[in-house]
């Protein structure tokens, strides 16, 4: 599984209809759709699909046809995300109608191709990176071990989300790949 590091835009045109496809990291996805509606006021459809993990580690998927005939745009876009095994991201496809009806099959092909164009461009730009599942943990570290713990966290690429200073030490909320987390906790004697 991979996810994008940044927004990647691609363009596809068929029978006068223009499709602007955007592969968007999860953090930017929700606000991105609203931003596109402002930036493209004459566009007729803002189709989207997304995939990411919830807090229980389950994949959550969503899609919207945004006024296109049911099953012709959002689901085909989601299927492309699945096919390329992308996670923690979404696709937004902005359509300008070109005056020629594409029909159900034509819409499915157009949205599928638009989604693929954005993903292929992201691959060519090397902006897709492997997804490594992470785990969160709270760890109490006494002040006497704090510098050693900070050294290990930096060395093991463990990210501190939150620090709560207490009288005896620091309560840290950290996140890291599972293997790194286990090694870190063993090194601390936890």
Confidence (pTM): 0.78
Provide CB contacts within 8 A for 98, sequence distance 6+.
Answer: 13, 14, 15, 16, 17, 18
Please identify, among 89, 114, 130, the residue that sits at the C-terminal boundary of a domain.
130
pLDDT in tens, 150-162: 999 999 889 999 9
Q: Are residues 122 and 149 in the same domain?
A: no
pLDDT of the residue at 91: 98
Contact 23, 51 (CB under 8 A): no
Cα-based torsion angle of the residue sequence 11, 129, 49, 21 in order, rounded to the nearest 10 degrees: -10
- Residues 71-94, mean pLDDT to the nearest whole number: 97
Domain extent at residue 23:
2-130
Q: Are residues 158 and 115 in the same domain?
A: no
Q: Are residues 47 and 140 in the same domain?
A: no
Which residue's structure tokens are 């189709």? 47
The average confidence (pLDDT) of the chain is 94
CATH of the domain at 150: 3.30.70
């Amino acid at each position: 599984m991979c996810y994008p590091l940044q927004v990647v835009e691609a363009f596809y045109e068929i029978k006068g209809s223009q499709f602007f496809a955007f592969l968007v990291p999860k953090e930017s996805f929700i606000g991105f759709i609203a931003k596109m509606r402002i930036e493209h006021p004459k566009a007729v459809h803002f189709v989207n699909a997304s995939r990411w993990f919830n807090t229980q580690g389950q994949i959550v998927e969503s899609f919207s046809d945004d006024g296109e005939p049911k099953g012709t745009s959002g689901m085909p876009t989601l299927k492309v995300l699945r096919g390329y095994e992308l996670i923690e991201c979404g696709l937004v496809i902005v359509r300008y109608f070109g005056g020629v009806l594409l029909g159900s099959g034509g819409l499915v092909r157009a949205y599928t191709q638009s989604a693929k164009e954005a993903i292929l461009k992201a691959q060519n730009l090397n902006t897709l990176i492997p997804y490594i599942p992470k785990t969160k943990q709270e760890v109490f570290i006494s002040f006497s071990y704090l510098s050693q713990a900070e050294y290990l966290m930096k060395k093991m690429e463990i990210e501190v989300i939150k620090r709560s200073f207490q009288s005896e030490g620091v309560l840290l909320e950290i996140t890291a790949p599972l293997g790194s987390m286990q090694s870190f906790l063993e090194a601390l004697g936890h």
